[in-house]
Amino acid sequence: MTNNTKEEENQGPTPQGNIPPENENENEVSIDSLARKVQESLSLANRHKFWETQPVGQFKDLADTSLSEGPIEAPTPLSEVKQEPYNLPAQYEWITCDMDSEEMCLEVYNLLTHNYVEDDENMFRFNYSKEFLGWALRPPGYYRSWHIGVRAKSSKKLVAFITGIPARIRVHDSIVNMAEVNFLCVHKKLRSKRLAPVMIKEVTRRVHLENIWQAAYTAGVILPTPITTCQYWHRSLNPKKLIDVGFSRLGARMTMSRTIKLYKLPDQTATRGFRKMEPHDVPAVTRLLRNYLRQFAVAPDFDENDVEHWLLPKEGVVDSYLVESPETHEVTDFCSFYTLPSSILGSQNHSTLKAAYSYYNVSTKTPLVQLINDALIMAKRKDFDVFNALDVMHNESFLKELKFGPGDGKLHYYLYNYRVRHVLRPSELGLVLL
């Protein structure tokens, strides 16, 4: 990892703020040239010391076409996996976080709320709800031992956290059992203690104990080496509030009233048969989603249990809608978004930015633009301020038409101990990590 503690101690997506006004386009940069620039700008001493010791794609190997796709290191015999936790500084101890416990959930919530990822200007910080954390960390087959905390021995205060959850991820034609690693967070006052590499090694050790040798994760910073880099786009739902809190700003020659008019949505959805997903829809949605995700180079391998967990609506956590043909009752289309508010730091009038994040969407009969516009209407109805989407899957086809603007944040996707031969375009990625 780099020596930049803010980058190092918070691994995850970035709360995207600051939508540039219309027509300010960034130049697209390829990962290869970006990687070269990063390497050239860092002195030898400051390169990714930690990551250069790990089985991940290295920048120096980007041009090497002889390297085969697949695991970088072979699995170790389970008997040789380190049985004892890694050593922490003497004043700290490992704990396993029981996310079924209301008290533990509250501790994790408080740590993340005050110390997790902020945007570059320190104006917004993710504010995952306790319900969201329970959903994100307890999918089918989860391991409690992968929810890892660090306590200060004297105060018993939770000062650091990292998690893994099991997932089946298809990479081209191979289905690989992986851990999705997330929520790496170290208390702001401990950023100089080099806890993050120890925590990454500890979650890796615990994953290996379950005979799983690969992982997927995201970060807002460049580490060795992204399989793809995605752009966040934002669609204003409450433009006045977004401008008031500095999330976006008025475009040139735009007034507030013209801006509000520009982003106004219809009151009613347009699609016949558009309705909220219900428990009995799980098999149909699973079929639709599995069929759709086959076309992407990297995507989850969802079964009905996964769909029930991740996509069945949960108030304040995830919303899912589908289109059922009034004539045949066939489920033809599906859209979903999850709720991830951010704390607004330093605003007199507002404390929370209510953001919806595009999740999995499948269009077979209804045009995707129409389907997502209906999702925007539902999000507006539920008082969301902004609707965010990455340019993954087919999302690029609706972004400009539905008045999304590019944000100033990028999200880099990584695989641990798995080499993908070619860097992917965002549109080849069928995976959304929370």
* 3-class secondary-structure state, position 86: coil
Give the per-residue pLDDT at 44: 40
Give the per-residue pLDDT at 28: 44
Give the per-residue pLDDT at 335: 98
- C-beta separation of 146 from 272 below 8 A: no
Tell me which residues of the chain have a pLDDT lower than 70.
Answer: 1-48
Give the per-residue pLDDT at 1: 27
Rounded distance, CA 215 to CA 227, Å? 13
Rounded distance, CA 370 to CA 389, Å? 16
Give the per-residue pLDDT at 4: 30
What are the catalytic residues? 434
> Which is it for strands 228-236 and 174-186: parallel, antiparallel or unpaired?
unpaired
Give the per-residue pLDDT at 55: 85
Longest distance between any two alpha carbons in the chain, whole Å: 68
- Burial string for 59-82 (b: 16+ CB within 10 Å, else e) reads beebeeeeeeeebbeeeeeeeebe
Domains and CATH numbers, the chain: 51-217 (3.40.630.30), 227-426 (3.40.630.170)
In 44-135, beta strands by DSSP E: 92-96, 124-126
Give the per-residue pLDDT at 30: 61
Residue type, 38: V
pTM of the model: 0.89
Q: H or E segment at 339?
A: strand 331-339
